[in-house]
Amino acid sequence: MVGTVNDSNNTHSLRRFSFRRDSRGPIASNAIVAAGVALALAMAAICAVVLYQSQPDAMDHTTDIYALWWHRALIIAAVMGALATACIGLCFAFGGQLRRRMRAEAELAMLARTDGLTGLNNRRTLDEILNQEWRRARRNRSVFSLLFVDIDRFKVYNDTYGHQAGDDALAAVAKCIGENIRRPVDSAARYGGEEFIVVLPDTSPEGAASMAERIRAAIVNLAIEHVGSEHGHVTVSIGAASWTPQWDVDVCAVIRAADEALYSAKATGRDMVALSTAHQANDKLWLDRQAAAPAKAELQPVTVIWQCS
């Protein structure tokens, strides 16, 4: 197992929600090089004109008079040519240094927004993804789905096999989650400890449950030994929640619903997927408010347990 995960889908989401690489950097470096070349060419053209106009005529008897001036013109032309060459070299060197600096800044920005152990998005990036996708779903009136993934009995695993093995297991699970995210708009992040969150914009409850089951089965297929688990290997429990955002509800409601579904999956036996139906109560409540503006009611999510083979 490795301690770093390189996932193309997750990298895509990082590029979308991280500090955007300033595209003006390469343009500026290329502009500097082009300006230097243009300046050098202009200097060379001036030298050529000066030399051409200073050439003595064959029938001109004033050659001796202009000999000194001709000698100085050659020296000036040579100096300007050397300066033009140096200017071109400096422009290329400065442009290359600017591009290297832009790449280094982009890498630092990526590292600042990535979890070092798993390679997934970190909590800071997750907050930005959640806020942006929630606002988009609210504008488009589309379904917003979220998966809350938790490794079963991970503390026992750490106590049994050691923290290094625990880190390897976390990295393997994170890689498995990342590999099962198919769409570029989907993203995964480490929420904290052994918990992960998968954001699925514009995904129905059925699609979220299918994605959760795919992730659960893929982690089972890793067959990572875990003697402290009732299943004999590392497993995960997953809570799924799908909501159609309303203007008076924030994304924290979806996280709470997925978290409650996760605890239902754990209480039912672990290695399971639980789908929260809180979104149904939310939609009904919103329709009731639109029709009769009733008193505010507290949502009590009901979970549907997906039995896994």
Q: Catalytic residue at 195?
A: no
Contact 123, 191 (CB under 8 A): yes
Contact 5, 175 (CB under 8 A): yes
Task: Tell the residue number behind the tokens 């992040």, with chain if given.
Answer: 189
Q: How many CB atoms lie under 10 A from the CB of residue 97?
A: 11
Contact 213, 198 (CB under 8 A): no
Q: Report how far apart, in Å, the C-alpha atoms of 7 and of each of 19, 172, 177, 184, 267 are.
A: 19, 12, 9, 11, 32
Catalytic residue among 105, 194, 206, 230: 194
In sign, the C-alpha dihedral spanning 53, 55, 57, 61 is positive
Task: Tell the residue number behind the tokens 């950097």, with chain if given.
Answer: 25
Contact 183, 199 (CB under 8 A): no
| DSSP-assigned states of every residue in 146-157 | EEEEEETTHHHH
User: What does DSSP assign to residue 245?
Assistant: -
Cβ-proximal residues to 168 (8 Å cutoff; 6+ apart), any chain: 1, 2, 3
Residue 197, H or E segment: strand 195-201
Q: Which residues are annotated as catalytic?
A: 194
